[in-house]
Structure 1
């Protein structure tokens, strides 16, 4: 008995979905790694997988295997971009406050050990 053959478009969709999943996994691994060499490895793997995903998407689109969604409104994209930029700015401020807050007690302790007055 011969098994039914999966159409090329279905295979392509399956591979495309898997590449998207792999990119997420590699990105997570890169952000969670503490070793610079491992972080670079997963960053490189993420980039090469993104390249493959883009090439497959372009091939699928050229072969009319991929229907793109309706174009987004420019103002919707701009609004979302502003939201992301605000979040990024808030995150950077939070990190700066936390790292400055952690350095301050160390600086005070260091000054006290050296006999210098501690300034608050």
Structure 2
């Protein structure tokens, strides 16, 4: 197998691994595990970037075509809207979860004949 083909295979595997580490990082509930996956993600991104740069310098990987600023701006705007909607959704759900608990506590204390 030619070196370029082998490196392209490794690069593709690193891209997949980065995606899996990203998922694992976002789903980790334990701070120590989250930190470990974050470190693995950052290390894999560094290796992937170094390999890509090496391949590009040695004409083993075609340089991607430049992205149009207008397309990037549109994607950024969409991502910002999604982020705002997600934050609103989470805030609403947190408020809903808090309110029934507070109402239940109030009902318990008001119905309790020993509560002064």
**How much does 1:108 deviate?**
1.8
12, 16, 33: which is aligned to 1:17? 12
Q: Give me the whole-angstrom Cα distance separating, in 1, the residues matched to 2:27 and 2:71.
A: 32
Q: Normalised by the size of structure 1, how large is the TM-score?
A: 0.84
Q: Give me the whole-angstrom Cα distance separating, in 2, the residues matched to 1:69 and 1:107.
A: 55
Higher relative helix content: 2
C-alpha offsets along residues 61-118 of structure 1, whole Å, 9 cap, x if unaligned?
1111110221111001100110011001101110010011100111222333444xxx
Aligned residue pair count: 110
Structure 1 unaligned segments of length 5 or more: list them: 1-5, 116-120
92, 97, 101: which is aligned to 1:102? 97
Q: Give me the whole-angstrom Cα distance separating, in 2, the residues matched to 1:19 and 1:9.
A: 15
* Higher-RCO chain (CA-CA 8 Å, sequence separation at least 6): 2
The equivalent residue for 2:72 is: 77
Q: Normalised by the size of structure 2, how large is the TM-score?
A: 0.87
